Amino acid sequence: MVWMRALSVWALILAVEFAHGVARTLWLLPRVGDLPSRQIGVVVGSALILVITWLTVRWIAAASRRQWLLIGTLWVALMLAAEVTLGRFVFAYPWSRITEDFDASRGGFLGIGMVVLLLAPLAMAMARRLPGARR
């Protein structure tokens, strides 16, 4: 039950992030350019992830810190798969464009976003003082 709920929340995060990406492309990209819009997008996307996780951690109801971290790990693995699949096969981005998003030396912040995604379940469970998140 916990894992189905965690997958459901990840699907919600994916849908919100997709809508956020469309909005960023339509409204922000023409105003600030490609790389700055992607950098801003990571910050906004991270905030969206934290809000969604805050609202859903009670419903997910994991039983331990380990389970919260495993949920975060699952979310990152699924999101990386989605990023690569969409980037390569839907938007036909070259590998250099995809890896640039993760390369801080080239201005990519997506690695930071993935760390937020990894830690969001545990951090929000701790913030909500859920029993399974306590030491």
pTM for this one? 0.95
HEC string of 50-107 equals HHHHHHHHHHHCCCCHHHHHHHHHHHHHHHHHHHHHHHHHHCCCCHHHHHHCCCHHHC
DSSP conformational letter for 98: H
Predicted confidence (pLDDT) per residue in 114-124, tens digit: 999 999 999 99
Rg of the chain (C-alpha set): 15
Predicted confidence (pLDDT) per residue in 16-65, tens digit: 999 999 999 999 999 999 999 999 999 999 999 999 999 999 999 999 99
